[in-house]
């Protein structure tokens, strides 16, 4: 039995008061629509049909081939929106799953339960209902004397008596694929000039077809986002869900309430995340790491056994056993080799500090390539930008750079060389040499028979 999904994402979302389409606002670092798309794919095995309208091009650009698309050019209601998928799906699916793109907390397990209910009873419609602690502006589920579902009445059309009904329509449906398209074409026009998807329930009842309603055990799953207040509430629930999942997977979160982990982040077991951390984007963290407190890490690769303390990392790589912080910054393109150390107030940009390297404090490496076991003294700076172009600094293995050295790129420091404190290096230094002064001059070189020997 083939199941297809239709996700409604055409609304303007005016209450968000934003130039960004509502469904592209993020929850846990991911556009809210992407959660529904993934949940639908998990239960159907194929990309859903996304009905787009407002901001259609931006939505398509954000999701790419994760969805198929149907355009609702006129906003004529939810029933009209689903009908736009008819050309793609009629005759192609035995069951049509329909829900809204602004409900990112829905679980695939809940959708699967809904599909099972429809199939087990042969219903024309199975829908998800909810009994929340507080009343919401959802449609009311109207049941008959025997408990059968007769209709859904929208909140604004409810009588005072109907408003007292606690069972609400959550907005998730599984339809008989052979019945739904013809039924959509028979929907009546509402007083607001729209075609309501919820009126299919009354049509099914009139056709003598069964309608099932199953309760959603967790009301948070059907939280719809209409305002920034709703967005913040969904973020809170999603963060709790993500944090709980990582703790159950073997990650220690010292204070989950102050730990922010995007849905796209991956963390190895036996890693400890201390309070105040933000793990963002496509970040991967290995096993046995210690992150924080107060670390912000975005789009980074961190290997096993690393430590990050009170620092900011973005689009950077830390190899096994390396460490950084406190108060340091790895910018785009930075890489710490195996066992490398960056202490306080260090910054790397588009640079590699090789295995075993040490950069203790108050230093900057930009557009630099460092070999193994290089020591960077306090206050060292690579002067990589001449006002027009950026230039590269290359430092070979086992080099000792004295405190307050200025390396004016392009410059190449040979293996085992040293610079004196306060040196301004404007020319290459051969292997094994010692240079110091302003400007720095080579004061000693290897013996003539040694590799890298030069005349002063």
- From the list 278, 361, 391, 449, the catalytic residue is 361
CA distance 327 to 343: 8
Handedness of CA 302, 306, 311, 317 (dihedral sign): negative
Structure confidence at residue 60 (pLDDT): 97
Q: Which two tokens stand for residue 93?
A: 């699916």
Query: With bands split at pLDDT 50, 70 and 90, how would you rate the model's confidence at 447?
Result: low
pLDDT (tens digit per residue) in 235-272? 999 999 999 999 999 999 999 999 999 999 999 999 99
- Reduce the secondary structure of the chain to three states and give it as a string: CCEEEEEEECCCCHHHCCCCCHHHCEECCEEHHHHHHHHHHHHHCCCCEEEECCCHHHHHHHHHHHCEEEECCCCCCHHHHHHCCHHHHCCCCCEEEEEECCCCCCCHHHHHHHHHHHHHHCCCEEEEEECCCCCCCCCEEEECCCCCEEEEECHHHCCHHHHCCCCEEEEEEEEEHHHHHHHHHCCCCCCCCCCCCCHHHHHHHHCCCCEEEEECCCHHHHCCCCCHHHHHHHHHHHHHHHHHHHHHCCCEECCHHHCEECCCCEECCCCEECCCCEEECCCEECCCCEECCCCEEECCEECCCCEECCCEEECCEECCCCEECCCCEECCCCEECCCCEEEEEEEEECCEECCCCEEEEEEEEECEEECCCCEECCCCEEECECCCCECCEEECCCCEECCCCEEECCEEECCCCEECCCCEECCCECCCCEEECCCCEEEECCCCCCCCCCCC
Query: Which residue would you say has higher pLDDT here, 443 or 307?
Result: 307
pLDDT reading at 449 higher than 70:
no
Structure confidence at residue 403 (pLDDT): 97
The answer to whether residues 147 and 214 touch, using CB atoms and an 8 Å cutoff, is no
Mean pLDDT of the region 141-146: 92
Question: Which residue pairs, CB below 8 angstroms and at least 24 apart, start in 90-95?
Answer: 90/181, 92/2, 92/4, 92/177, 93/2, 93/3, 93/4, 93/177, 94/1, 94/2, 94/3, 94/176, 94/177, 94/178, 95/1, 95/2, 95/3, 95/4, 95/119, 95/174, 95/175, 95/176, 95/177
Domains 3-222 and 228-444 share a fold: no
Looking at the chain, the whole-number percentage of residues with pLDDT higher than 70 is 97
| Structural domain boundaries in the chain | 3-222, 228-444
pLDDT (tens digit per residue) in 326-384? 999 999 999 999 999 999 999 999 999 999 999 999 999 999 999 999 999 999 999 99
CA distance 426 to 408: 5
CA distance 174 to 124: 8
User: What are the Cα distances from residue 421, in Å, to 308, 343, 369, 394, 433?
Assistant: 29, 19, 21, 19, 15
pLDDT (tens digit per residue) in 4-16? 999 999 998 999 9
Q: How far is CA 261 from the centre of its chain?
A: 9
Mean pLDDT of the region 214-240: 95
Among the listed residues 175, 30, 40, 13, the one whose alpha carbon sits nearest the alpha carbon of residue 106: 40
User: What are the Cα distances from residue 209, in Å, to 206, 229, 250, 404?
Assistant: 7, 39, 48, 82
Structure confidence at residue 309 (pLDDT): 98
Query: With bands split at pLDDT 50, 70 and 90, how would you rate the model's confidence at 445?
Result: low
CATH architecture under which domain 228-444 falls: 3 Solenoid (2.160)
Rounded to two decimals, the pTM is: 0.91
Structure confidence at residue 191 (pLDDT): 87
CA distance 152 to 44: 26
- Arithmetic mean of pLDDT over the chain: 95
Structure confidence at residue 355 (pLDDT): 98
Q: Which two tokens stand for residue 248?
A: 């159950």
Looking at the chain, the whole-number percentage of residues with pLDDT higher than 90 is 90
pLDDT (tens digit per residue) in 79-106? 999 999 999 999 999 999 999 999 999 9
Structure confidence at residue 388 (pLDDT): 95
Among the listed residues 11, 176, 183, 154, the one whose alpha carbon sits nearest the alpha carbon of residue 81: 11
Among the listed residues 277, 286, 232, the one whose alpha carbon sits nearest the alpha carbon of residue 255: 277
Structure confidence at residue 121 (pLDDT): 85
pLDDT (tens digit per residue) in 196-208? 999 999 999 999 9
pLDDT reading at 454 higher than 70:
no
Structure confidence at residue 453 (pLDDT): 46
Mean pLDDT of the region 404-413: 98
Query: With bands split at pLDDT 50, 70 and 90, how would you rate the model's confidence at 157?
Result: confident
Structure confidence at residue 448 (pLDDT): 54
Structure confidence at residue 1 (pLDDT): 82
Query: Which residue would you say has higher pLDDT here, 78 or 132?
Result: 78
pLDDT (tens digit per residue) in 120-131? 989 999 999 999
The answer to whether residues 317 and 299 touch, using CB atoms and an 8 Å cutoff, is no
CATH architecture under which domain 3-222 falls: Alpha-Beta Complex (3.90)
Q: Can 361 be counted among the known catalytic residues?
A: yes
Structure confidence at residue 446 (pLDDT): 59
pLDDT (tens digit per residue) in 280-327? 999 999 999 999 999 999 999 999 999 999 999 999 999 999 999 999
Strand 375-376 and strand 400-401: pairing? parallel
């Amino acid at each position: 039995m083939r199941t297809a999904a239709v996700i409604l994402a055409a609304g303007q979302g005016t209450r968000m008061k934003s130039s960004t389409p509502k469904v592209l606002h993020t929850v846990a670092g991911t556009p809210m629509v992407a959660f529904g798309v993934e949940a639908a794919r998990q239960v159907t095995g194929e990309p859903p049909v996304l009905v787009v309208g407002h901001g259609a091009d931006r939505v398509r650009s954000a999701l790419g081939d994760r969805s198929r698309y149907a355009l609702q050019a006129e906003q004529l209601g939810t029933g009209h929106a689903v009908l736009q998928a008819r050309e793609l799906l009629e005759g192609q699916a035995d069951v049509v799953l329909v829900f809204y793109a602004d409900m990112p907390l829905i679980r695939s397990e809940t959708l699967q339960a809904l599909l099972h209910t429809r199939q087990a009873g042969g219903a024309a419609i199975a829908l998800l209902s909810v009994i929340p602690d507080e009343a919401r502006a959802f449609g009311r589920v109207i049941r008959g004397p025997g408990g059968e579902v007769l209709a859904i009445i929208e909140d604004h059309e409810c009588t005072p008596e109907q408003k007292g009904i606690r069972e609400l329509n959550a907005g998730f449906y599984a339809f008989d694929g052979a019945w739904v398209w013809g039924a959509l074409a028979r929907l009546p026009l509402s007083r607001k000039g729209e075609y309501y998807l919820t009126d299919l329930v009354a049509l099914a009842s009139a056709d003598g077809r069964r309608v099932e309603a199953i309760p959603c055990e967790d009301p948070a799953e059907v939280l719809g986002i209409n305002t920034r207040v709703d967005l913040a509430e969904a973020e809170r629930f999603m963060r709790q869900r993500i944090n709980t999942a990582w703790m159950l997977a073997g990650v220690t979160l010292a204070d989950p309430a102050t730990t922010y982990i995007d849905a796209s982040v991956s963390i190895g077991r036996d890693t400890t995340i201390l309070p105040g951390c933000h793990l963002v984007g496509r970040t991967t963290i290995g096993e046995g790491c210690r992150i924080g407190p107060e670390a912000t890490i975005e789009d980074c690769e961190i290997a096993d056994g690393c430590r990050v303390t009170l620092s900011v990392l973005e689009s950077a790589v830390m190899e096994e056993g390396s460490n950084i912080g406190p108060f340091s910054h790895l910018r785009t393109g930075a890489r710490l080799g195996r066992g490398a150390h960056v202490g306080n107030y260090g910054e790397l940009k588009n640079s590699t500090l090789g295995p075993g390297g040490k950069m203790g404090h108050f230093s900057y490496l930009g557009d630099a390539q460092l070999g193994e076991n290089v020591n960077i003294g306090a206050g060292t700076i690579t002067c990589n930008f001449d006002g027009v172009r950026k230039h590269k600094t290359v430092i070979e293995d086992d080099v000792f750079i004295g405190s307050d050295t200025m390396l004016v790129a392009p410059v190449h420091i040979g293996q085992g060389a040293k610079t004196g404190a306060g040196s301004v290096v404007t020319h290459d230094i051969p292997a094994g040499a010692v240079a110091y002064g302003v400007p720095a001059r080579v004061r000693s070189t290897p013996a003539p028979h040694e590799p890298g020997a030069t005349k002063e």
